[in-house]
Amino acid sequence: MPEDNIKSVVEALLFASDKPLLIEQVKNALDNLSPGDIRKIFEDLKAEYENANRGLRVIEIAGGFQMVTASIFSGFIKKLYKDRNTDRLSRPALETLSIIAYKQPLTKLEIESLRNVNVDGVMKSLQDKNLVRVVGRKNTPGRPKAYGTTRQFLEYFGLKALDELPKIENFPHAQVLEEQNEVKQTTQTN
């Protein structure tokens, strides 16, 4: 198959996929390509869409590649879908999810001690949305479940990997929160 046709096949796979398309998935669909060749096709498509200033882009996200609308057109898309019911996360869910994302793996008790509230309902909701999962068990009495984020979490927030999370020290209240946490730990040990 000519190279242009292979690129067209990969483009069609990207368009048809509702989740990030992994190099391994393309390799399984196109037997004769190496992972390096597939990555080059993804990168070529990415560059072509950007250079042509098209309404779509190819981005690397959550360990794969996905076709998305160009962010500069988000205002128009919001207008088009302004009445659409979106499944947004509540503030408690976002707080819990951020704790897990930055400090994973950690137990429900550790999350509750950081938030100072019961997180049973929030944890169930995050697990139902496939944003959080059990990643193992802690080597502490009772061997409690340890939680971490999922690939769906990366997709939801448009991240390639966890190291793309904003640095905590860049948040305006980070210093205050750190001091509060130190005071809390000191009073708990005394």
- Domain extent for 154: 91-189
Q: How many CB atoms lie within 10 A of CB 39?
A: 15
What pTM was computed for the model?
A: 0.59
How confident is the model over 114-139, as pLDDT tens digits? Answer: 999 999 999 999 999 999 999 999 99
Residue 33 lies in a domain: yes
Same-domain pairing of 67 and 46:
yes
55 and 8 part of one domain: yes
Last residue of a domain, one of 55, 80, 105: 80
Question: Is 162 a domain residue?
Answer: yes
Last residue of a domain, one of 52, 80, 108: 80
Residue where a domain terminates, one of 45, 80, 115: 80
Digit-coded pLDDT (tens) for 17-54 = 989 999 999 999 987 789 999 999 999 999 999 999 99
With 0-12 / 13-18 / 19 or more C-beta atoms within 10 angstroms meaning exposed / middle / buried, residue 41 is: buried
Same-domain check for residues 126 and 167:
yes
